[in-house]
Copies of this chain bind each other. A is one copy, B any other.
Amino acid sequence: MEDRQSFIANARREQIIKAAIEVLKEIGYVKTSLAKIAQKAKISTGLISYHFSGKEDLMNNTLMYLVEKEWVFINERVAQKQSSTDKLIAFIEAGLAYQVTNKTNNIALIEIVFNARTPDDTPYYLLEDDEDDMKQSLLLDILSQGQESKEFTNFDPRVITTVIQGAISESMFTFQNNISIEQYNEKLTESILKIVK
């Protein structure tokens, strides 16, 4: 929490992170360099190394920043609802809305998750986040509590969690086609309710 404070507080660090997000979206992780980020932020390359211990550190902080933002967006909307059904509907709608509203953030997140690797070369997207992924935990809780309160029928929450998360992620590639977010949200929600109700 000491880390978190300085993370949010430091304006320069946030400026660098925002520049990194822009560059990641514009030219992708492969071509993203500290020089390009510095150029975008209108600062020198050395300053980035002054505020972050290295490129990896910067990318990790950028990832944390993005995950936090998405989590706040979704949780804010879910928390306003009372019943498990309404929470579930809100989760799906918020998940879809975030991707459309914050496309740059979404793309930057993808670029990092599918490129960054641990020192022993394990890709981030293969890391088991189990306890760490708050978004997944939130969805799991909604489904489980809905079953306890008899709002939902019997099913495996882990499987349906994966289906819903997959349907939200995958939507990114479908919106380019002829279907709108509103249509997709409506019909996806309808389909999911068929499963859980």
CB within 8 Å of B: which residues of A? 26-31, 107, 110-111, 114-115, 117, 121, 123, 125-126, 128, 130, 155-156, 158-163, 165-174, 176-179, 183-184, 187-188, 191, 194-195
Query: Nearest Cβ distance between residue A22 and chain B, in whole angstroms?
Result: 13
Q: Do residues B158 and A167 form an inter-chain contact, with CB atoms below 8 A?
A: no
- The answer to whether A159 and B177 touch (CB under 8 A), given A114-B110, A169-B166, A169-B169, is no
Q: What would 20 A/B residue contacts be, using CB atoms closer than 8 Å?
A: A28-B117, A29-B30, A31-B117, A110-B114, A111-B114, A114-B115, A126-B172, A156-B179, A159-B184, A159-B187, A159-B191, A160-B191, A162-B170, A163-B166, A163-B188, A165-B170, A166-B170, A170-B170, A194-B194, A195-B195
For A176, give its contact among B27, B29, B128, B183 (CB under 8 Å). Answer: B128
Q: Do residues A177 and B121 form an inter-chain contact, with CB atoms below 8 A?
A: no
For A115, give its contact among B28, B125, B155 (CB under 8 Å). Answer: B28
Query: Nearest Cβ distance between residue A158 and chain B, in whole angstroms?
Result: 6
Q: Do residues A163 and B167 form an inter-chain contact, with CB atoms below 8 A?
A: yes
Scoring A107, A163, A170, A177 by chain B CB atoms within 10 A of each residue's CB, the highest score goes to A163
**For chain A, what secondary structure do more than half of its interface residues adopt (helix, strand, loop), or is it mixed?**
helix
B residues within 8 A CB of A165? Answer: 166, 170
Query: Nearest Cβ distance between residue A179 and chain B, in whole angstroms?
Result: 6
B residues within 8 A CB of A107? Answer: 123, 126
Query: Nearest Cβ distance between residue A63 and chain B, in whole angstroms?
Result: 15
Q: Do residues B162 and A128 form an inter-chain contact, with CB atoms below 8 A?
A: no
- The answer to whether A176 and B121 touch (CB under 8 A), given A162-B170, A169-B166, A184-B159, is no
Q: Do residues B155 and A187 form an inter-chain contact, with CB atoms below 8 A?
A: yes
- Report how far A110 CA is from B110 CA in the complex, Å: 12
Query: Nearest Cβ distance between residue A184 and chain B, in whole angstroms?
Result: 6
Scoring A26, A123, A166, A183 by chain B CB atoms within 10 A of each residue's CB, the highest score goes to A166
